[in-house]
Structure 1
């Protein structure tokens, strides 16, 4: 009985998730000139490529798409690397008060992002980083470190300390131990952390609209809001086509690395 209830619950969640996706795809196919003014449940035509072309070229979402790809890939990699080093220091290195350092780094996930926006905006404006790619990359990398640190640190705590002790006896330095022993063993956890941080940076809207305004600097989610305002007269099909484009990279990333992602989550939650 309990298993049937769980199955029914999961099936209901899947249906609730698929309904908006179905409406997104169906209405993105509709020619903008033939849109009836409300979401349609059946395909009324096929003009997806024209809608995509309008969103990509005429609305300028292509520049923001490339910028977001840069932010998500580079900042995700940098954040995971920094988080791995910090986790190694907290778990493996003989530093004083490791619990203090853990909570200091992890506290970055505990405070709402909105409380940092005003001072961050003022700092960026004074430093000349406002509306620059390097400025957004700095804040995205720093923002992504705490949660990646949490995932990687959890996996590191499951590793036997005898590995480090044996390597030290053999004369290996801590740097060599990190790169040659722990990084290969943490591959699944690092991959899961990267998928999480790539998705988080890609889906960000708040920092994007606060710290940028130029089309070639703005992340893609901020560009979607501009698309919504500029092309409201053409109807939702163009906007929905833009949303469909935006959803592709994270979907492909998860499908490509789903095995590594699941192994990493399992290793990080033991």
Structure 2
């Protein structure tokens, strides 16, 4: 009979306990979102008490007008993520494949955008957006979301580009391929899985953003979905916590669907960037 090493048992036990600990908030969220709003007594429930989830979601949808806000967030997340991924892929191609000088300097210059807290940018962004007429506009939010998404996307794409075989590039250059053709015909197709993984990261980040949504927008037809959900949470005394939690589950569904749809690309790219 084969003996299981003690180290493996401890590791698996630790991972299981961490997974259970991580799942507790999600369990509480779902259970309390299922409680009918009229029957909620003010204390959190650990076990299901009826099933009012769909009604709570409907109330959240109507009270917070989540439909237009979700459409706005979809526009911001898709557009800004695609722009950021394209720019990051081009920057990674230049920093890894092309014969540029001071590659490390360029890497840190771009990646340093992730080292500062986002709150640092709020005041200059607010003032500049007000001066240039970008405040409370969709194009203004797309621009800021794309800008903050580039550094981390560049980090992913650069690491992935370093794993690609140099022989392919050398062979294409010997055949007379220009850098532009090399980028679009070889580099982009080879980097597709990493681009999808980076897109998932940035889509989730933009979708879940609240800071810029409440700072750079005020109109209901401009604000992203998390700003609308925050407004609903501000009136939770009248709607009840189950309605707010039902709305939270509702607005999180697109990111969950996206992650599981792109899971194959997500996992494969992470394996190659280790």
- TM-score of Structure 1 vs Structure 2, range by shorter chain: over 0.9
* 3-state SS in 1 of match to 2:189: helix
C-alpha deviations, 1:69-128, integer Å up to 9, x for none?
111111111111110001101111122322221111111111111111111111111111
Note if 1:89 corresponds to 2:99: no
* 3-state SS in 1 of match to 2:42: coil
1:173 corresponds, among 178, 182, 196, to 178
2:193 corresponds, among 170, 188, 194, to 188
Residue of structure 2 equivalent to 1:30: 35
The 8 Å contact of residues 64 and 229 in structure 2, kept in 1 or not, is answered as no
The 8 Å contact of residues 80 and 194 in structure 1, kept in 2 or not, is answered as yes
Residue of structure 2 equivalent to 1:72: 77
Note if 1:265 corresponds to 2:270: yes
Residue of structure 1 equivalent to 2:58: 53
Residue of structure 2 equivalent to 1:140: 145
* 3-state SS in 1 of match to 2:136: coil
Residue of structure 1 equivalent to 2:3: none
C-alpha deviations, 1:188-212, integer Å up to 9, x for none?
1111111111111111111111111
What is the alpha-carbon distance in structure 2 between the residues aligned to residue 4 and residue 90 of structure 1?
Answer: 44
Residue of structure 2 equivalent to 1:121: 126
Query: TM-score scaled by structure 1?
Result: 0.96
Q: What is the aligned residue count?
A: 269
Residue of structure 1 equivalent to 2:8: 3
Residue of structure 2 equivalent to 1:242: 247
What is the alpha-carbon distance in structure 1 between the residues aligned to residue 96 and residue 190 of structure 2?
Answer: 15
The alpha carbon displacement at 1:221 in A equals 1.5
The 8 Å contact of residues 33 and 234 in structure 1, kept in 2 or not, is answered as no
The alpha carbon displacement at 1:36 in A equals 0.8
The alpha carbon displacement at 1:235 in A equals 1.3
Residue of structure 2 equivalent to 1:164: 169
The 8 Å contact of residues 59 and 227 in structure 1, kept in 2 or not, is answered as yes
What is the alpha-carbon distance in structure 1 between the residues aligned to residue 64 and residue 109 of structure 2?
Answer: 43
What is the alpha-carbon distance in structure 1 between the residues aligned to residue 82 and residue 237 of structure 2?
Answer: 36
The 8 Å contact of residues 93 and 183 in structure 2, kept in 1 or not, is answered as yes
What is the alpha-carbon distance in structure 1 between the residues aligned to residue 44 and residue 74 of structure 2?
Answer: 30
- Bigger mean CA deviation after superposition, 190-199 or 94-103: 94-103
C-alpha deviations, 1:39-67, integer Å up to 9, x for none?
11222222222211111122212221111
Note if 1:210 corresponds to 2:215: yes
Q: Alignment RMSD, CA only?
A: 1.2
Query: TM-score scaled by structure 2?
Result: 0.94
Gaps of 5+ in 1: none
The alpha carbon displacement at 1:234 in A equals 2.3
Residue of structure 1 equivalent to 2:107: 102
1:41 corresponds, among 39, 46, 61, to 46
Moved over 3 A (4+): none
The 8 Å contact of residues 63 and 232 in structure 2, kept in 1 or not, is answered as no
What is the alpha-carbon distance in structure 1 between the residues aligned to residue 219 and residue 14 of structure 2?
Answer: 44
